[in-house]
Structure 1
Amino acid sequence: MSLVFDVTADQLTPQGRQAVQELAAEEIASLAEELVAYHQHFAPLFYRQEQREWAAIYLRGLLTADVARKNVEAMALHLLGVGPHAERQVRALQQFIGEGKWDDDAILAEHQRLVNETLGEEDGVLIVDGSDFPKHGGHSAGVAPQWCGHMGKKDNCQAGVFVGYASRKGATLLDRRLYLPESWFAEDHRTLWQDCQIPDEIAFQTKHELAAKLVEKIMASGRIRARWVVCDEGYGDSPAFLQRLEATGLWYLAEVPRDTKVWPLLEMDGQSERARPSSWIHPQVPSRKGPAPRRERLHPSSPAKVPLEDLAKQWPASAWQRFRLLEGHKGPLVADLLVLRAILPLDRLPGPEVWVVIRRKVSGSSEEPEWKFYLSNAPLETPLATFVRVSGMRWPIETCFAECKGELGMDHYELRFWRGWHHHMTLVILAHHFLVRWQQRLNQREGDLAPDNHAALARPN
Structure 2
Amino acid sequence: MQEWTPEEVASLAEVLVAYHQHFAPLFYRREQREWAALYLRGLLTTNVPRKNVEAMALRLLGVGPHAERHVRALQQFIGEGKWDDDALLAEHQRLVNETLGEADGVLIVDGSDFPKHGDHSAGVAPQWCGHTGKKDNCQAGVFVGYASRKGATLLDRRLYLPEPWFAEDHQTRWQDCQIPDEITFQTKHELAAQLVEGIRASGRLQAQWVACDEGYGDSPAFLQRLDAVGLWYLAEIPRDTKVWPLLETDGQTKRALPSSWVRPQVSSRKGPAPRRARLHPDSPAKVTVEELAKQWPASRWQRFRLLEGHKGPLVADFLVLRAILPLDRLPGPEIWVVIRRKVSGSAEEPEWKFYLSNAPPETPLATFVRVSGMRWPIETCFAECKGELGMDHYELRFWRGWHHHMTMVILAHHFLVRWQQHLNQREGDPAPGDYASLAHPR
Contact kept in structure 1, 2:420 and 2:432, CA below 8 Å = no
Residue 422 of structure 1 pairs with residue 399 of structure 2: no
For 1:85 and 1:454, the matched residues in 2 are separated by 48
Contact kept in structure 2, 1:393 and 1:456, CA below 8 Å = no
User: 1:328 aligns to what SS in structure 2?
Assistant: coil
Residue 443 of structure 1 pairs with residue 424 of structure 2: yes
> Which residue in 1 is equivalent to 2:215?
234
Tell me which of 182, 185, 193 is aligned to 1:201.
Answer: 182
Residue 413 of structure 1 pairs with residue 402 of structure 2: no
Tell me which of 329, 341, 344 is aligned to 1:348.
Answer: 329
Per the TM alignment, residue 276 of structure 1 is displaced from its structure 2 partner at its CA by: 2.0
Per the TM alignment, residue 323 of structure 1 is displaced from its structure 2 partner at its CA by: 0.7
Tell me which of 382, 387, 390 is aligned to 1:401.
Answer: 382
> Which residue in 1 is equivalent to 2:434?
453
> Which residue in 1 is equivalent to 2:170?
189
For 1:270 and 1:299, the matched residues in 2 are separated by 28
Per the TM alignment, residue 277 of structure 1 is displaced from its structure 2 partner at its CA by: 0.8
Per the TM alignment, residue 24 of structure 1 is displaced from its structure 2 partner at its CA by: 4.3
Residue 431 of structure 1 pairs with residue 412 of structure 2: yes
Contact kept in structure 2, 1:59 and 1:431, CA below 8 Å = yes
Contact kept in structure 2, 1:265 and 1:276, CA below 8 Å = no
Contact kept in structure 2, 1:62 and 1:70, CA below 8 Å = yes
> Which residue in 2 is equivalent to 1:246?
227
Per the TM alignment, residue 274 of structure 1 is displaced from its structure 2 partner at its CA by: 5.6
For 2:209 and 2:59, the matched residues in 1 are separated by 42
For 2:229 and 2:324, the matched residues in 1 are separated by 21
Residue deviations 1:391-448 (CA, integer Å, cap 9, x gap): 0000000000000000000000000100000000000000000000000001001112
For 1:218 and 1:238, the matched residues in 2 are separated by 20
Per the TM alignment, residue 273 of structure 1 is displaced from its structure 2 partner at its CA by: 2.1
Q: Which runs of 5+ in 2 are unaligned?
A: none
Aligned AA for 1:415? L
Contact kept in structure 2, 1:171 and 1:396, CA below 8 Å = yes
> Which residue in 2 is equivalent to 1:300?
281
Aligned AA for 1:324? R
Report the identity percentage: 86
Contact kept in structure 1, 2:243 and 2:324, CA below 8 Å = yes
Residue deviations 1:49-77 (CA, integer Å, cap 9, x gap): 00000000100000000000000000000
Tell me which of 364, 372, 385 is aligned to 2:353.
Answer: 372
User: 1:216 aligns to what SS in structure 2?
Assistant: helix
Residue deviations 1:85-144 (CA, integer Å, cap 9, x gap): 101110000000000000000000000000000000001000000000000000000000
For 2:254 and 2:373, the matched residues in 1 are separated by 30
Residue 44 of structure 1 pairs with residue 25 of structure 2: yes
Change (3 A) 1:287 1:269: farther
User: 1:329 aligns to what SS in structure 2?
Assistant: coil
Tell me which of 139, 150, 164 is aligned to 1:158.
Answer: 139
For 2:247 and 2:348, the matched residues in 1 are separated by 29
> Which residue in 1 is equivalent to 2:262?
281
Mean alpha-carbon deviation: is it higher for 27-36 or for 384-393?
27-36
Contact kept in structure 1, 2:267 and 2:275, CA below 8 Å = no
Aligned AA for 1:443? N
For 2:313 and 2:381, the matched residues in 1 are separated by 20
Per the TM alignment, residue 319 of structure 1 is displaced from its structure 2 partner at its CA by: 1.1
For 1:184 and 1:456, the matched residues in 2 are separated by 45
Residue deviations 1:255-297 (CA, integer Å, cap 9, x gap): 0111100000115997672622121011233357622533211
Residue deviations 1:276-330 (CA, integer Å, cap 9, x gap): 2121011233357622533211000001110111111111111111111111110
Residue 86 of structure 1 pairs with residue 67 of structure 2: yes
Aligned AA for 2:328? D
> Which residue in 1 is equivalent to 2:314?
333
Aligned AA for 2:300? A
Mean alpha-carbon deviation: is it higher for 393-402 or for 28-37?
28-37
Residue 99 of structure 1 pairs with residue 80 of structure 2: yes
User: 1:154 aligns to what SS in structure 2?
Assistant: strand
Change (3 A) 1:460 1:134: same
Tell me which of 361, 365, 372 is aligned to 1:391.
Answer: 372
TM-score for the superposition, normalised by structure 2: 0.98
> Which residue in 2 is equivalent to 1:128?
109
Aligned AA for 2:77? F
Contact kept in structure 1, 2:123 and 2:139, CA below 8 Å = yes
User: 1:241 aligns to what SS in structure 2?
Assistant: helix
Per the TM alignment, residue 206 of structure 1 is displaced from its structure 2 partner at its CA by: 0.0
Aligned AA for 1:30? S
Per the TM alignment, residue 214 of structure 1 is displaced from its structure 2 partner at its CA by: 0.1
> Which residue in 2 is equivalent to 1:15?
none
For 1:423 and 1:306, the matched residues in 2 are separated by 46
Change (3 A) 1:291 1:314: same
